[in-house]
Chains A and B, each alone.
Chain A
Amino acid sequence: MERLLRIDRRIIFIFVAIAVTLPLLIRFNLPVTATKDVKSIYNKINSLPEGSHVLISFDYDPASKEELQPMAVALLHHCFKNNIKVIGMTLNPGGSGLADSAITEAGKEYSRKYKEDYVFLGYKTGTELVMINMGENIFSAFPKDFYGNATVDLPVLKGVQSLQDMDYVIDLASGSSIEAWIAFGKEKYNFDFGGGCTAVIGPDMYPFLQSKQLTGLMSGLKGAAEYEILINRKSTAVAGMSPQSVVHVLVALFVIFGNVLYFMTGRKK
């Protein structure tokens, strides 16, 4: 038993590798039910009339792509399907490529036109300062879009002067940008705000959900999978639920097994 407690960690790694790869090879479906926090975002977008403006801030980089990119893609599909104008931006220097590819690919699928139906404003440094500046005047914060077009001339931004003119703002975050958007954006300029974040950040967002500062929240790959179910477009997030479930069960079993051995060996320290 002592030996089992001091097991080589590489053996544990092998178990994890098997737990991840096996569900990908032997496909099985698990029931994904949408939670009320994810439904809130879905319902909010559904309630917007055609031609409404939704701002999506892609505040993540490649390290968090596996969790947040499926969220972004699902959101974009929902917006484009409902004929909603999408304004993309990022406050993370590593996020511009991911954001641009997600918007462009989803836009193409619904034959939406760049500059008319959607725009990607690109990256701007200064996080909170950018939010405040956008709250005063969006063209001041982003005089040009990602491709160098003057934003003031873009048809997609017609009727939009500042954050207050956005019908909905969503932040997809791998860091603390949701808190910043609430403190410096939503509270100051008063707009409806929803969030998507990595599973690690999820628990930090609950005070904002209860205070209604966040209208909804997608947390981790599970949140993305729930959104995919809601829009009836199963993709990478739903596919990722099987390996994630198996790994979670494995980790729980490791914890239980480790503790059983711990008590059986009579080690109290």
Chain B
Amino acid sequence: MNFFKRTIPLTIAFIMGVIMTFQYYVPHEASQSLLKVVTRWGITIAGFAVFIGVYSLFHLHWNKIKRKVPGWGYSTFVFFGAGITIIFGLYNGGEFFLNDKQEGTMFDWMYFNVQIPAGATMFSILAFFMASAAYRTFRARTSEATILLVAAVIVMLGRVPVGALIWEYLPPLADWIMSVPNMAAKRGILIGVSIGAIATSLRIIFGIERAYLGGGD
């Protein structure tokens, strides 16, 4: 079993990793065709992640219901919501899922009248929590925290139209904070993350990093 669970996946990762690394630098027609085929395969395989996601979600919430953990009642809504959506999605306005997508179906109605308002509501709740957190926890305890606090207030006011009415230099000051100190910090983080990603990719290609195979080790 170790051969199927370890050796074959590691060999595939190594061969494909090396081939696709070289492919990037070879502008030959055959190389471009290979890229097209491999990315199409990738798109097809990525589609199967949906099934894993659905299985994982159902498994998690089914266990919550079975064990009657606090708040298990909410988990029933996962099955209720997913069930209804899947049924109407497959029903496709009476044309069923093998035909092209129909317009004005019950699935569309649920998307526009349930998912969109629910999503917007969840997002809008952030404003309330952010205001509460700003009042209760954002304190100038150290010099670094004070700099952060002053910058936050300037950016917060300078990035909305009322900022210019409060003080005409607020918007340009906010822009300077964003395009100089913020940009420098973000670029540093970006370079660090990119180098880390390259290192992790090499570790995966050469079989040193095996966490993606699952099962520990």
- Residue in B closest to A63 when the chains form the complex, CB atoms: B119
A43 close to B (CB within 8 Å): no
A241 close to B (CB within 8 Å): yes
Q: How far is the CB of A211 from chain B (nearest CB, A)?
A: 9
Output the nearest chain B residue to A221 by Cβ-Cβ distance: B160
B203 contacts the other chain (CB 8 A): no
Among the stretches A49-57, A125-133, A153-161, the one at the interface with B is A125-133
The CA-CA distance from A16 to B123 in the complex, in Å, is 14
Asked if B149 contacts A259 (CB within 8 A), the reply is yes
Secondary structure dominating the interface of B: helix
Binds B, one of A78-86, A105-113, A163-171, A246-254: A246-254
B86 interface contact, C-beta 8 A: no
The reply to whether A126 and B42 contact each other, CB–CB distance below 8 Å, is yes
- In Å, the complex CA distance between A129 and B130 comes to 36
Q: A63-B120, A207-B186 are in contact. Are A133 and B160 (CB under 8 A)?
A: no
Option from A98, A133, A147, A252 in Cβ contact (under 8 Å) with B39: A133
Which of B100, B119, B140, B159 is the one whose CB lies under 8 Å from A65? B119
Cβ of B136 under 8 Å from chain A: yes
Closest CB-CB distance, A62 to chain B, in whole Å?
3
Q: Residue A16 contacts which of B120, B128, B139, B164 (CB distance < 8 angstroms)?
A: B128
A247 touches B183 (CB 8 A): no
Q: A62 to chain B: which residues have CB within 8 Å?
A: 111, 115-116, 118-120
Tell whether, in the assembled complex, residue B149 and residue A148 are in contact, meaning their CB atoms are under 8 Å apart. Answer: no
B21 at the interface (CB under 8 A from A): no
| Contact between B139 and A262, CB atoms less than 8 A apart | yes
- Rounded to whole angstroms, the CA-CA distance of A246 and B111 in the bound complex is 31
Q: Are A125 and B47 in contact (CB under 8 A)?
A: yes
- A126 and B187 contacting across the interface, CB-CB below 8 Å: no
Instruction: State the CA gap A68–B119 with chains docked (Å).
Output: 13
Q: Which residues of B contact A140 (CB under 8 A)?
A: 36, 40
Q: 23 pairs across A/B with beta carbons < 8 Å?
A: A9-B132, A9-B136, A12-B132, A12-B135, A30-B165, A33-B164, A33-B171, A62-B111, A62-B119, A62-B120, A63-B122, A65-B116, A101-B112, A125-B50, A129-B42, A130-B43, A137-B36, A140-B40, A206-B183, A249-B166, A255-B135, A255-B138, A259-B138
